[in-house]
Chain A
Amino acid sequence: MHPILKLVLQRLALGCLLLVAASALIFAGTMILPGDVAQSILGQSATPQALANLRAELGLDVPPVQRYFDWLGGVLHGDLGTSLTNRLDIADTMGKRLGNTLFLAFWAAIISVPLAIFLGLLAVRYEGRWPDKLISGVTLASISIPEFLIGYVLIYFIAVKLRMFTTVAMINDGMSLGEKLNAIALPVIVLTLVVLAHMMRMTRAAILNVMQSAYIETAELKGLSSFKVIARHAFPNAIAPIVNVVMLNLAYLVVGVVVVEVVFVYPGMGQYLVDHVAKRDVPVVQACGLVFAAVYICLNMIADIVSILSNPRLRHPK
């Protein structure tokens, strides 16, 4: 078998095990939280009788371990079940939310990843001079400001004062791509500002590291332009760490943007998960956890494979 294929299969099997472990952890976690779904639904208006009726109807009187295995059995058959709180099909509602999250993450990534790498290359080219310092300063400042604050500032100056774009980034099926992009413009800007610095700094550091090597000196002595040296000779050897940090940030764009979703009222996965945790709606929390874990595992696997492919030394382990 091809070593790469073998590696992928190994990683996939390990990933599946990890997913099961994650789901067990999440289930245990939601069991530890105080209160249950019946109490959360009825809230302050819960009477003991209404609580008992609702618990029986939702099947909460079944022991937790049995409930977990019932759920696991369903998932293995491709059935994520229905939400305890609003009886909607989880695969269906979560699918829409996941689509929205991926849509936002996609556009944020399309802008931020090339921009970060380009800025990183630029910073290396002008290392220690003002463009380098300017790029580092601005991106570090934007990563240091809490994302909700950047969001509010943009809302106030761009949407309220200038009346550009929209404050409510709500998208639905009836909108054209243009309308959708108009709606998500502000959150995309915020997310770009948030993830830019990390990737930019990593690109800069990785390439600078390579720039110390003898072969770079050779390339320079051959008379190549400095940007060409960086892009053609240094960058390919710095791919592995860059891909790693890019994947981490992509994962963040998918699973970690709940604050941005709240500020811009974006119907993504984060808000969906938080709502259901607050209501102790275990099947939905499980399903979201599964998706988030899968995203992390997949992106990390891609990062590993790319670094192995980009580095022939790693392709032939001893």
Chain B
Amino acid sequence: MNDRDREIQHFTKLAAKGRMTRREFVGRMAALGVTAAMANTLLSTAVKAAGPNKGGTLKIGSTGGESTNTLDPALAASQVPYHNLHAFAETLVEVKSDGSIDPRLAESVESSPDAKTWRFKIRSGVEFHNGKSVTAQDVMRTIERHSNEESKSGALGIVKGIESMSVDGDTFVMNLHTANADLPYLMADYHLMIQPDGGFDNPAAGIGSGAYMLVSDEPGVRHLFKKNPNYWDSTRGHVDEVEIIVINDATARMAALQSGQAHIVNRVDPKVAGLLSRAPGVRVENVGGPGHYVFIMHCDTAPFDNNDLRLALKYAINRQEMVDKILMGFGSVGNDFPINASYPLFDSSIPQREYDAAKAAEHYKKSGHDGSPIILRVADGAFPGAVDAAALFQQSAAAAGIPLEIKREPNDGYWSEVWNKQPFCASYWGGRPVQDQMYSTAYLSSADWNDTKFKNADFDAKLLAARAELDGTKRKALYSEMANMLRDEGGLICPMFNDYVDGLSEKVQGWEKDGTGELMGGRASQVCWLA
């Protein structure tokens, strides 16, 4: 071993222990003739080899928290409740970043050959924070609370297909009305956190079986958790305390990261991500996910009931321009169906639809629209930059001779008064872990949130067939046909899929790219540690 190697090794060790920042390390390595990419690889290998550092308070600055938040998993709808739930509670299974199922409270999952009966064997020796053991009974009661007649759960749509549930020793058994090969993915939904006795007596008590225990619950201000000493999984829960601080103002959130008052922040505005990544002591992590920014047309309302008009509008939007100018490159172009490469069984051979003013004009003419302006309703609450995106859309459509009129709506009440009510508006979908769930949630004729009013019996039949199909190749073919149907006939204009963009302090280690949600699918508080 020569001096250079020895020096590299020495600095790598120092950096892995956190005695040197990543930036300093990369600088030293450059001096020794090691490329930045190589230096980063060296460092992450060394960090893994050194193992997690225990202790400290991990501070997460998050938007999407209000004084009105509750710890009831059923009512979680924004980011802060999402991160709270991941800190103190667990689901039966989780979806890993590679799209596979990670058994958590369920040790194993089995299905009958027809995918109608599912058996979840519950991990033994796991305790809730109140000292009681996690049993199959608790699991059944939890799913019951989300699916019964009085349920107001955000997961109600997910658990609707259950025919019966039972407990067989340490195993929780579910019988479904119709076969569903994706059921484990549905059970990974973050609303379905297992609570003692299903949380019937006090759903917002904040008692789960997670890596951290609730210390202080101040909705809209902060939520403090401490390490759960009896946690079953030694590979998670490294810090002593997790503090989730509500910082809704984007500038304040970035300032908190830069001044060291937060170690991790979510929703870095793409506009400032470049600047932020150059600031000392912080880095920006982005990863592609299933979330997409869309414009939705109601297929059953004039003038959008005419497929030529829908196609005209689809050809009249410049997707790449939107990714460049609205997402600042932190995302990828959409193709007018809600699925992208982050889903299993995605068919990448479907041709990408491009901006084509001539084709748009042709379809517009064929639609016989009277030339009156088409009203597009937007608010920045629909997705960040929605108003700007609508303006870009208006320009590119005008070039094809299609008049769009933008109507700005207030953010307040947008989801109750505009979305799913007005025939043409901006919207956002967070995506789902699997294609079946995305399609069943918003494109099945009978779905409550069918926000494009797309009703097609053939499509529905294919969706149900794919759901029961256990053969991957056949399922993929079915999903591909469905994607093509939506792309060519649906009411969805999907210009872009947005990345999750998070900001991290140099002190945070153990971070991995994970596109299942922001902050590593909510798992950052469990798997990251402080150097």
Check if B277 is an interface residue, CB within 8 A of chain A: no
A289 in contact (CB, < 8 A): no
Can you report 19 residue pairs joining A to B where beta carbons are below 8 Å apart? A33-B413, A34-B417, A40-B416, A41-B75, A44-B415, A45-B77, A47-B156, A57-B152, A86-B70, A152-B255, A156-B255, A160-B258, A167-B256, A170-B222, A172-B222, A262-B248, A275-B66, A278-B66, A278-B412
Q: Is the CB of B255 within 8 A of A160?
A: yes
Task: Return chain B residues, CB-CB under 8 Å to A264.
Answer: 252
Q: Within 8 Å of chain A (Cβ to Cβ): is B97?
A: no
> Of residues 42 to 92 in A, which have CB atoms within 8 Å of B's CB atoms?
42-51, 53-54, 57, 83, 85-88
B68 within 8 A of A: yes
Cross-chain contact B68 with A47 (CB below 8 angstroms): no
User: Is the pair B415, A85 in contact by a Cβ cutoff of 8 Å?
Assistant: no
Q: Is the CB of B245 within 8 A of A170?
A: yes
> Complex Cα distance A281/B417, Å?
17
Within 8 Å of chain A (Cβ to Cβ): is B204? Answer: yes
Q: Could you tell me the distance between the alpha carbons of A292 and B362 in the complex, rounded to whole angstroms?
A: 60
Pick the interface stretch among A16-24, A204-212, A265-273: A265-273
Q: Is the CB of A166 within 8 A of B259?
A: yes
Residues of A276-307 contacting chain B, CB below 8 A? 276, 278-279, 281, 284
Given A264-B252, A265-B247, A281-B68, check contact A43 B156 (CB 8 Å). Answer: no
Q: Least Cβ distance of A308 to chain B in Å?
A: 40
A262 in contact with B252 (CB, 8 Å): yes
Q: Whole-angstrom distance from the CB of B400 to the nearest CB of chain A?
A: 31
B292 to chain A, nearest CB (A): 14
Given contacts A57-B152, A168-B61, 12 further A-B pairs with CB under 8 A are: A35-B416, A40-B416, A43-B415, A44-B419, A46-B415, A50-B151, A87-B204, A167-B261, A262-B252, A267-B221, A271-B220, A278-B412
Task: Tell me whether A87 and B70 are in contact (CB under 8 A).
Answer: yes
Interface: A315 (CB within 8 A) = no
Q: How many Å lie between the Cα of A88 and that of B70 in the bound state? A: 9
Q: Given A83-B68, A87-B70, A265-B249, are A167 and B220 neighbors across the interface (CB < 8 Å)?
A: no
Query: B221 touches which one: A159, A163, A170 (CB < 8 A)?
Result: A170
Chain A, residue nearest B76 (CB): A45
| Chain A residues packing against B (C-beta within 8 Å) | 33-35, 38-51, 53-54, 57, 83, 85-88, 93, 96-97, 152, 155-156, 159-160, 163, 166-168, 170, 172, 262-265, 267, 271-272, 275-276, 278-279, 281, 284
Indicate if the CB atoms of B248 and A43 lie closer than 8 Å.
Answer: no
Knowing A35-B417, A48-B448, say if A167 contacts B157 (CB, 8 Å): no
Residue interface mask B394-417, A partner, CB < 8 A = 1: 000000000000000000110111
Complex interface: chain A residues within 8 A of B18 (CB): none
CB-defined contacts of A83 to chain B, threshold 8 Å: 68
In the complex formed, the residue of B with least CB distance to A273 is: B67
CB distance from B431 to the nearest CB of A (A): 13
Evaluate contact between B255 and A50: CB separation under 8 angstroms: no
Which residues of A have CB within 8 Å of B261? Answer: 166-168
Shortest B460–chain A CB gap in Å is 18
> A280 to nearest B CB, angstroms?
9
Out of A47, A170, A172, which one reaches B157, CB within 8 Å?
A: A47
Question: In whole angstroms, how far apart are the Cα atoms of A166 and B262 in the complex?
Answer: 11
Q: With A168-B262, A275-B67 in contact, do A53 and B249 touch (Cβ < 8 Å)?
A: no
- A292 to B239 Cα, complex, angstroms: 41
Assess A267 versus B218: contact at CB under 8 Å? Given A85-B70, A275-B68: yes
Instruction: Using CB atoms, name the residue of chain B closest to A35.
Output: B416
Task: Report the bound CA distance from A155 to B250 in whole Å.
Answer: 13
B77, closest chain A residue (CB) = A43
Docked-complex contact B154 and A265, CB < 8 angstroms: no
Q: A163 near B259 (CB under 8 angstroms)?
A: yes
Shortest CB–CB separation between residue B322 and chain A, in angstroms?
21
Partner of B67, one of A39, A41, A271: A271
In angstroms, Cα B255 to Cα A312, docked, is 54
Instruction: Report the bound CA distance from A38 to B220 in whole Å.
Output: 19
Asked whether, in the complex, the Cβ of B66 is within 8 Å of the Cβ of A168, the reply is: no
Return the chain A residue nearest B65 by Cβ. Answer: A275
Give complex CA distance A60, B273 in Å.
43
In-complex Cβ contact of B151 among A38, A53, A96, A166 (8 A): A53
Chain A residue contacts of B220, Cβ below 8 A:
267, 271-272, 275
CB distance from B150 to the nearest CB of A (A): 5
**A276 and B67 alpha carbons, distance in the complex (Å):** 7
Contact A41 B77, CB 8 Å, known A155-B252, A265-B252, A275-B220: yes
What's the Cα separation between A35 and B262 when bound, in Å? Answer: 35
| A39–B256 alpha-carbon span in the complex (Å) | 32
* Closest chain B residue to A159, Cβ basis: B259
Q: Does B251 contact A (CB under 8 A)?
A: yes
Q: Is the CB of B204 within 8 A of A47?
A: no
Question: At the interface, yes or no: B153 with Cβ under 8 Å from chain A?
Answer: yes
Most buried by A among B75, B221, B261, B417: B221
Is the pair A262, B255 in contact by a Cβ cutoff of 8 Å?
A: no
Q: How far is the CB of A51 from chain B (nearest CB, A)?
A: 8
Q: Is the CB of A159 within 8 A of B68?
A: no
Nearest CB in chain B to that of A55: its residue: B152
- The answer for the CA separation of A294 and B221 in the assembled complex, in Å, is 25
Tell me if B448 and A159 are in contact (CB < 8 A).
no
Q: Which of A41, A53, A263, A275 contacts B150 (CB 8 A)?
A: A53
Pairwise interchain contact B255-A159, C-beta atoms closer than 8 A:
yes
Does chain A have a CB within 8 A of B69?
yes
> With A and B bound together, what is the CA distance between A195 and B28 in angstroms?
51
- Chain B residues with CB under 8 A of A39: 415-416
User: Using Cβ atoms and an 8 Å threshold, which residues of chain B touch A34?
Assistant: 413, 416-417
| Interface residues as binary, B206-224 with A (CB distance below 8 Å gives 1, 0 otherwise) | 0000000000101111100
Q: Mark B237-257, 1 if CB is under 8 A from A, else 0.
A: 000000001111101100110
A158 to B, closest residue via Cβ? B259
Residues of B within 8 A of A275 (CB): 66-68, 220
Q: How far is the CB of A109 from chain B (nearest CB, A)?
A: 23
CA–CA, A190 to B448, complex, Å?
48
Among A38, A48, A50, chain B packs the most CB atoms within 10 A around the CB of A50
Pick the most buried of A34, A83, A156: most chain B CB atoms within 10 A of its CB.
A34
Please give, as numbers and ranges, the residues of chain A lying within 8 Å of B75 by CB-CB distance: 41-42
In the complex, what residues of A have CB within 8 A of residue B70's CB? 85-87
Q: Which A residues lie within 8 Å of B252 (CB)?
A: 155, 167-168, 262-265
What 1/0 mask marks residues of chain B from 442 to 479 whose CB sits below 8 Å from any chain A CB?
00000011000000000000000000000000000000
The winner among B78, B154, B415, B416 for most chain A CB atoms within 10 A is B416
The chain B residue sitting closest to A38, CB to CB, is B152
CB proximity to A under 8 Å, residues B404-440: 412-413, 415-417, 419
Closest 7 CB pairs of A and B: A85-B68, A35-B416, A275-B66, A86-B70, A267-B221, A275-B67, A39-B416
B221 / chain A contacts, CB cutoff of 8 Å: 170, 172, 267
A88: chain B residues within 8 A (beta carbon): 219
State whether B245 touches A35 (Cβ < 8 A): no
